[in-house]
Structure 1
């Protein structure tokens, strides 16, 4: 892909300038946004079609996963990117964590400049105030209802009205999707590397070693949701092939190494011990040579390349 070669004296970051253009379902095309984005120097433009009320945006999710340090994400207006201040701040936080930047052409937001960062801090304060006001209004409403002898909560849900229950279910599904997408960068790369060769149980244990609290069923459900939304390949849900105990150890070692190719044999052995995996002979202590034997088998099976082997030794 093309690279941004702007003058270093301008202070602009070196990297790609990527435009993001979104239109709602009742709009026709992104052409007007694309013209502005190209005029701003965007090398690449990602298009999205969908409602602004939903965070389920496959193109944006893919872009955030693939964006690199030094890149800049550009939008015409803030409402093209996020449906709320809190959502906007989450996206910018993800970009900042990757060393990337954000810029809105019609708003004073440019995270590569001190002025832009100040504007962002103001937005953060606004979001915090907004949450506090909503909380206070909610509490005041509950107190007022109680003083009048009214029950708190949604009367439609209490009375089990179908339309109210349907709205509640839709809201719960949307909130679940938001949580899954917000955390995907932490666990999805490991799932992609290990599925379907490894069981959900093996992957959940691997993630737990990294401090991520997943059960096999919750992990499978999260991936199923992403498949339904067409965010990941359906092949991730394929049934894992049955394996003999040694075959399972071989693929587990291959998966550990694929998740972090820089690990040495001793470090892989330590991970196996923390996972309480028994050696092929039933022991609890793993020697680097035992790991090497499994890696050699994984190489012969095509699970690990010769280059990977050299890195592990």
Structure 2
């Protein structure tokens, strides 16, 4: 059972060496290091590890706070691993999803999280009922009076909440949008972005456009990504799509690209649903001649 280590430090002043040594001692032959805040879910190294990890592999960390800073985020990461048939282990915490004891600990954590959410809901309901019984009307008085300052405050709070939710998934779509737009049409970009995602995490085109527009507005993406898609020759579309898939993960094999294209329901040049590695190799060669692979590699570096 391959063990894949993940070590994270928050600042450049810190070193991941102690974590890496502990992971190596635990039997991890492959260790990935990252410098990023634990509160930031858009971590490119972790995103690549979660993309590459396969069935039977185990993701290992020294402590669970190296992977996630909240229970909900931890459970989300473990669900993603389980969906791939992979496991999770923390060296200093009693969590090893490959063992019955570790699974039980995870179930307890999940129950605790659900219990906490239920308590919050009950407290909210009780507070509203108490307010009504005393003749008090719930809500913000400024909003009821349509005060401009109160309305602006709520609007900004909602916007901050939306951006926070986007930041949690940014690693899933920002690199691809930056690399693929405006070379590809939005419908193709959405399909490439959705390729490695679980069904409940996939994007619709309107949702992705809204997210991209918000990131452009705040300066996280260049305005060029919203430009009209460049017109392509009919024979150039498939090489561009395959270059986009390869650019997202240069280590992908030809067979893996075939599987991704079939999942996207992309037809071969001859209109077939089943892809062969030889067809992908031919289109990759064409993409290279067109300069599409060179561009993808340059923007990935």
Aligned partner of 1:143 among 126, 129, 138: 129
Matched, 1:219 2:208: yes
1:310 maps to what in 2? none
Aligned partner of 1:303 among 281, 284, 287: 287
Q: Which runs of 5+ in 2 are unaligned?
A: 246-256, 273-278, 290-301
Matched, 1:104 2:90: yes
Pair 51,164 (structure 1): closer, same or farther in 2 beyond 3 Å: farther
Matched, 1:242 2:231: yes
Pair 171,29 (structure 1): closer, same or farther in 2 beyond 3 Å: farther
Matched, 1:67 2:53: yes
CA contact (8 A) 1:202 1:252 kept: no
Greater C-alpha radius of gyration? 1
Alpha-carbon RMSD across the aligned residues, in angstroms, is 4.7
* Aligned-residue offset at 1:60: 2.4
Pair 97,234 (structure 1): closer, same or farther in 2 beyond 3 Å: farther
Residues matched between the structures, number:
257
2:4 maps to what in 1? 17
Pair 77,254 (structure 1): closer, same or farther in 2 beyond 3 Å: same
Matched, 1:131 2:128: no
* Aligned-residue offset at 1:152: 3.0
Q: Which runs of 5+ in 1 are unaligned?
A: 1-12, 273-285, 289-294, 306-313
* Aligned-residue offset at 1:109: 0.4
* Aligned-residue offset at 1:226: 7.5
Pair 75,152 (structure 1): closer, same or farther in 2 beyond 3 Å: farther
CA contact (8 A) 1:109 1:119 kept: yes
Pair 193,66 (structure 1): closer, same or farther in 2 beyond 3 Å: farther
Aligned equivalents of 1:255 and 1:44: distance in 2?
32
* Aligned-residue offset at 1:180: 5.3
**Deviation per CA, 1:107-149, whole angstroms, max 9, x where unpaired?**
1101122221121122121122122112111222222233334
Q: What secondary structure sits across from 1:261 in the alignment?
A: helix
Pair 179,256 (structure 1): closer, same or farther in 2 beyond 3 Å: closer
Matched, 1:197 2:194: no
Aligned equivalents of 2:174 and 2:142: distance in 1?
38
Question: Structure 2 length normalisation: TM-score?
Answer: 0.63
**Deviation per CA, 1:9-61, whole angstroms, max 9, x where unpaired?**
xxxx2x242122233x6984445434433332333142233153x43434323
Alignment of 1:1-313 (within 5 A): 13=1, 15-23=2-10, 28-42=14-28, 43-52=30-39, 54-153=40-139, 160=149, 166-178=156-168, 184=172, 195-204=181-190, 214-215=204-205, 217-222=206-211, 240-243=229-232, 247=233, 249-254=234-239, 261=258, 302-303=286-287
Aligned equivalents of 1:168 and 1:228: distance in 2?
16
Tell me which moved more, 203-212 or 72-81. Answer: 203-212
Question: Structure 1 length normalisation: TM-score?
Answer: 0.61
